[in-house]
């Protein structure tokens, strides 16, 4: 395999040693050339190598083969005698974080893919495309996934509550109104929780919200505005209330009996009967009223007349 074709895809300190092309996979062997490393506990740099170890990472596939990187890494001795960490492993965080079995670029692709598909379906498809990963691992990756959000850039948010079970479970959703994208979901609608979450929005200027009490007392010198959706909802709620207050609950259809003999009273503006369907409707209304007068419940009447309550 001509490694030179893909050598730019790897950091320079990974020196190519050899490659093996097998039936269903390609293995590239590397030697890490990093000469020193900082102790993860005390931060002191060390160049004292104690031993070596190998890490195998799955990477993005090459054409029709699964790709594995086998990298020889070092174990360093911490030179700080007061440090509790005597030996520590060489890291290659540019390629993969410690403990990971896949490269960062493969993980990034997998998460994007798994977010759009069922875990088991995604696992089967990926296997056909030379990426080996179980459905359970994909599921765990998506559950641990957090979008990379630059909270400092967010200046205007929309905040609202929602419920997953009425009177039991409520949450809060925060939307970046600069991008109209969801930023985060909080597991309650408490003001305290919202305050805590908003601390990281250091450049936040405007909060768009409804008129509920949850977010009225959010800390911080923000401008609170009502959004169009809530204004329209408030307006329509008010209109319905006002119409209910001003209009009678029922209108009497005068002379509707004339509907049944097909000779509507021309003096009555309240009723126009011009079809069999309308006649049937009046018949049902009449039956419903009769049953109601006889003391039957709405449920019973609805069942008898095969209609919704």
Site of interaction with Zn ion (CB under 5 A): 39, 41-42, 78, 80, 83, 85
Which CB sits closer to Zn ion, 34 or 278?
A: 34
> Least Å distance between CB 54 and Zn ion?
24
> Least Å distance between CB 80 and Zn ion?
5
**Which strand (E) or helix (H) includes residue 185?**
strand 181-186
Q: Kindly give, in sequence order, each residue whose CB lies less than 8 Å from that of residue 91, ignoring residues fewer than 6 positions away.
A: 37, 40, 97, 98
CB 181 within 8 A of CB 150: no
**Which strand (E) or helix (H) includes residue 233?**
helix 228-246
Phi, psi of 111 (to 5 degrees): -65, -45
Phi, psi of 263 (to 5 degrees): -125, 80
Which CB sits closer to Zn ion, 10 or 88?
A: 88
The terminus-to-terminus CA distance of the chain in angstroms comes to 74
> Least Å distance between CB 14 and Zn ion?
25
Which CB sits closer to Zn ion, 41 or 289?
A: 41
What are the tokens at 3?
């490694």
Which CB sits closer to Zn ion, 78 or 197?
A: 78
> Least Å distance between CB 46 and Zn ion?
8
Which CB sits closer to Zn ion, 19 or 80?
A: 80
* Cα 8 to Cα 2: distance, rounded to the nearest angstrom: 12
Closest CA to 60 of 133, 114, 159, 3: 133
> Least Å distance between CB 162 and Zn ion?
48
> Least Å distance between CB 86 and Zn ion?
8
Which CB sits closer to Zn ion, 30 or 88?
A: 88
Closest CA to 45 of 14, 88, 93: 88
């Amino acid at each position: 395999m001509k490694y030179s074709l893909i050598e730019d895809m790897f950091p320079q300190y990974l020196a190519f040693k050899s490659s093996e092309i097998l039936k269903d996979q390609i293995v590239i062997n590397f030697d890490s050339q990093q000469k020193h490393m900082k102790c993860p506990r005390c931060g002191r740099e060390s160049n004292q190598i104690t031993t070596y170890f190998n890490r195998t990472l799955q990477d993005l596939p090459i054409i029709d083969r699964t790709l594995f990187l086998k990298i020889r890494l070092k174990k360093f001795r911490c030179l700080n005698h007061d440090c509790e960490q005597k030996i520590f492993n060489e890291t290659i965080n540019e390629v993969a974080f410690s403990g990971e079995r896949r490269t960062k670029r493969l993980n990034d692709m997998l998460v994007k893919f798994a977010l759009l598909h069922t875990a088991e379906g995604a696992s089967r498809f990926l296997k056909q495309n030379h990426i080996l990963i179980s459905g359970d691992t994909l599921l765990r990756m998506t559950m641990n996934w957090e979008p990379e959000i630059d909270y400092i850039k967010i200046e205007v948010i929309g905040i609202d509550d929602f419920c997953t079970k009425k009177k039991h479970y409520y949450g809060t959703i925060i939307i970046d109104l600069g991008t109209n994208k969801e930023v985060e979901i909080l597991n309650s609608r408490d003001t305290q929780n919202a305050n805590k979450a908003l601390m990281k929005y250091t450049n936040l200027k405007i909060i768009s919200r409804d008129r509920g009490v949850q977010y009225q007392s959010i800390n911080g010198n923000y401008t609170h505005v009502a959004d169009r959706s809530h204004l329209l909802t408030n307006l329509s709620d008010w209109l319905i209330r006002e119409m209910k207050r001003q209009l009678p609950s029922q209108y009497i259809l005068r002379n509707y009996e004339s509907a049944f003999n097909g000779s509507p009273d021309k003096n009555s503006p309240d009723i126009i009967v011009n079809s069999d369907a309308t006649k049937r409707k009046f018949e049902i209304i009449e039956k419903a009223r009769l049953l109601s007068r006889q003391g039957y419940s709405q449920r019973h009447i609805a069942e008898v007349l095969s209609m919704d309550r």
